[in-house]
Structure 1
């Protein structure tokens, strides 16, 4: 999730655990700091754009390493504030803050390596977009009220924000499963029962869902809103680059993207350069993670370059708003 959401979640969790045992501003402050610490790995340059992508949400998001870090951080906080009698409470609070960060990240589609160093498998559920106001705002409101109110009402409001956001996550997962069932039925009717399927929310909401199906040679994209007048999904087909994949899928950069995306990728060629694209984030024809691998004959000695494809917001945002509310219109191109 975005940094603001992780800060808000960290503060809310810390305030909920510490309560009135310490000043609420301390709980909120250290919760915010601990809540954003795992994402500092984004500042590390691993040498090329694909490594930077696939090494994000790795060690700093691992249950193992975060559990080791929690008592050290708690000791420092307790020592700083002269609250060593609250060391165990700070330990619990900050451990929960650190652990809930990667758990929330796992609800997005990016991929979080929870089990490092024992496994680098990128876990993803993909039921919530990286920015979703309905998840974040209740957390912020709860923390702000906890800090402003002088009685226990603030603590209750903070707990209410946490409960609301958690229920919203549960709702997002249920909506995703509903859409997955419809998409799978639609694929079966088209003779594509064996296609790999990915269902993720469109930006900023959980009403409109993007459905992506991948076969060895093609990928199919569609959208479904929970407010659509029918359960019909309209699919558009696109070339996955099967011939290129047969030639280059063993190349290191391509293999990394293949593993990290769980196979939801494509290869293409433009002006003699080879491109590998993560199909999970974005929508046709604009994708967030599109990498230029250079001339195929120079592989693997070229350094991948990130070539993000940004949508035209003048058309994308109005389409998103109308499509979200159940108006069946073609995707902007």
Structure 2
């Protein structure tokens, strides 16, 4: 999830663990702890794109990280804070650390919660930024901030925030199930044979859902809003995997395919190859658009070394997407 959401969650967890004893400092340290796992993004400055993607939400988002580093941070804080309870500080950091990847596991990218095991947990029930999850939670945390440490209202407001956000998160599984059924029924009605169906919410909401469908020769992409009145329409995208040629044997290419869970297409433009990660959908909702959110130039230098260069998205793309999303959420 986005940084603000993780800060809010961390602050609420910190309050739940140690608010009675240290007051607003529990919110502060919880917020700090809630952001620490995302420091793995710094890897992008020191390594290539594929390696950085492989490390993203890896070790720092694991149970092992929480177990190893919570006592260390707890010990450090207990040394200079007035409250010297090492156990309390360690528990604060542990729960703030572990709830971070658990929340991230609900997104499309998921987390390597069980690192070093090579498996990524991704429920794909919530977008990385979802105002319906974050805003009520944030309001409750702000209300806690202005209460005295001994006030009973602190725990009441914090509990309400945790309850509302957790209930919404649980409901996203129901929403996903309903959307999945709609896509499945539409495929059956249109006599489409497929091998795999993958669904996820579109940006900023859980009303409009996207689907990737893997068929033998191509992919189908579709969307469905709970306000739709017309049949689901499926857009066809050629896989073009053959365009990789011998590059399919390259280790970086293999890793990239594994990271994308096999959901990718290849485009050739002006003798250049582009790799599209289908899991995060399109930034342009027009029919048959090729503007994928994550698109990479496959750059091969004179020595045969392969690099993936992410293609930049401009501000106009984001604004256009938001307008298109709003119209599409209201139904077809």
Fold conserved (TM > 0.5)? yes
- Alpha-carbon separation, structure 2, partners of 1:189 and 1:223: 16
- DSSP 3-state at the match of 2:56: coil
State the match for 1:100 in structure 2.
Answer: 99
Q: 1:305 maps to what in 2?
A: 309
Q: Could you tell me whether the CA contact under 8 Å between 1:257 and 1:278 is conserved in 2?
A: no
The 8 Å contact of residues 180 and 199 in structure 1, kept in 2 or not, is answered as: yes
Change (3 A) 1:308 1:254: farther
Q: What RMSD, in angstroms, separates the aligned Cα atoms of the two structures? A: 2.0
Distance apart, 1:299 and its partner CA? 7.9
| Distance of 1:208 and 1:240 partners within structure 2 | 25
Contact 2:124 2:201 in 1 (8 A): yes
Structure 1 residue 59 displacement after superposition: 1.0
Say whether residues 1:224 and 2:224 are aligned partners: yes
Q: 1:299 to 1:229 in 2, by over 3 A?
A: farther
Q: Is the 8 A contact 2:24 2:145 kept in 1?
A: yes
Q: Secondary structure at the match of 1:127?
A: coil
Note if 1:30 corresponds to 2:29: yes
Instruction: Show the counterpart of 1:121.
Output: 119
Task: Tell which deviates more after alignment, 70-79 or 182-191.
Answer: 182-191
Distance 1:268 1:224, change over 3 A: same
Separation of aligned partners in 1, 2:223 and 2:145: 41
Q: Secondary structure at the match of 1:288?
A: strand
2:104 aligned counterpart, secondary structure: helix
SS at match of 2:125: coil
Distance 1:79 1:318 in 2: 51
Aligned runs of 1:139-218 on 2, under 5 Å? Answer: 139-150=137-148, 151-218=151-218
2:273 maps to: 274
Contact kept, 8 Å, 2:10 with 2:30, in 1: the verdict is yes
- SS of the equivalent of 1:77 reads helix
Report what 1:331 is aligned to.
Answer: none
Provide structure 1 residue ranges, at least 5 long, that are not aligned to the other structure: 329-333
**SS of alignment partner, residue 249 of structure 1:** helix
Q: 1:299 to 1:273 in 2, by over 3 A?
A: farther
CA distance in 2, matches of 1:102, 1:306: 25
Distance 2:118 2:124 in 1: 18
Is 2:71–2:90's contact at 8 Å kept on the other side of the alignment?
A: yes
TM-score, with structure 1 as normaliser: 0.90
The answer on whether the counterparts of 2:19 and 2:27 sit within 8 Å (CA) in structure 1 is no
298 and 212 in structure 1: CA distance in 2 versus 1, 3 angstrom threshold: farther
SS at match of 1:268: strand
Alpha-carbon offset, residue 214 of structure 1? 2.0
Write the deviation string for residues 177-208 of structure 1: whole angstroms up to 9, x where unpaired.
11111212222334444332221111111111
- SS across alignment from 1:187: helix
What is the TM-score with the length of structure 2 in the denominator?
0.90
Give the corresponding residue for 1:55. 55
In the aligned structure 2, how far is the partner of 1:189 from the partner of 1:82?
66
Q: Is the 8 A contact 1:213 1:219 kept in 2?
A: yes
- 1:211-290 correspondence runs (5 A): 211-230=211-230, 232-244=231-243, 247-283=246-282, 284-290=289-295
2:193–2:215 CA contact under 8 A, matched in 1: no
Q: CA deviation at 1:103?
A: 0.7
1:8 Cα deviation (Å)?
Answer: 0.6
Deviates more, 1:247-256 or 1:12-21: 247-256
Residues in 2 aligned to 1:314 and 1:92: alpha-carbon distance in whole angstroms: 42
Tell me the SS of whatever aligns to 1:51: helix
SS of the residue aligned with 2:60?
helix
SS class of match (2:306): coil
